[in-house]
Structure 1
Amino acid sequence: MHAFVDETKQNGLLVVSTVVEVRHLKQARKQLREQRAKGQNRIHFKKESDSRRRSICSALCALEVKVAVYDAVRIRNTVDARAACLTAAVEDLAELGARRLTIEQDDSLVASDRKVLYAAVRKFGVADILAYEHLRPNEEPLLWVSDAVAWCVAKGGDWRNRVDPVITGVRKLT
């Protein structure tokens, strides 16, 4: 099992973790790459038109993925909010027996993320099991799922409903 994490800071911090069984990785990546418009090297949901967003949401819901949302909008300090989300994600991934965690790379957050992840994998007893890395979104298509779901959940309404089939849970963090 592998997980792919991205966030939105649109209305406070929401972190989204997309989990995929290893046997479904290749096909999911292929299907996501096919969703890119001509000339795109990635899907970035906030830059898509509404018609493209609707199409992409339908495609995401057809993938063999499960998505968890970590809602830290009540935590005012963004560093604390991100740490709480990443720690909760590692806790859930430990329970699932996940082997790899890929986080969308934000150069300004890599060092602090590594400190949080180092502590979290030890706290939940998966230091030798769960590997983690930061990658840019053009390097890993499955990050696009987390990006899209985060955007839809933050927007709410019909957008939230469109991705509801892949969302397995929302953890509200305080």
Structure 2
Amino acid sequence: MIVALLLCTAFDVKKAANFYPEQLDQVYIKKKSILVGMSEETEEVCETVIHNGYRPAQGHLVNGSLVEILQQSIGHQFRKTFVRCKEENRPTCNGVKDNLYTSECVTVYENVNTMVRLFGSSARFELGTIRVPIQCECRLRRHYRIFESLNSDYH
């Protein structure tokens, strides 16, 4: 019971009350700290946008081709939660020491099968594999420095 209460209070979901997939905008989740002595105000390393139960009309195949995704009111519907970085130009991560690391916020994708056809085509829909954003992560590259010897004559 206490664990469930802690998990429920660990996340502050805005727009969760009376939420219906048909009224889908964007759901922002702000993670809160449940550690004793920690401030509830936290800062995201990478700003993230979550589209809960998203039904896209278009997508990209693994090879990059733009496709139309089959979405019917009755029958086949492709619905998935999309999680992506807010900025697409790979901004630096918040809170990372720039003198030690080069950082960037990167959207990670997974491959998912659904019914598609090339965009603008009147061909039949066929099973295809599209790329779906599933998370925003901070990628780090450590800076390595070559230190010069104090005595350049000594090798």
User: Do the structures match in fold with TM over 0.5?
Assistant: no
TM-score between both structures, scaled by the size of structure 2: 0.23
TM-score w.r.t. the length of structure 1 is 0.21
Tell which has more relative contact order, 1 or 2 (C-alpha 8 A, sep 6+). 1
Larger radius of gyration: 2
Structure 1 or 2: more helix by fraction:
1
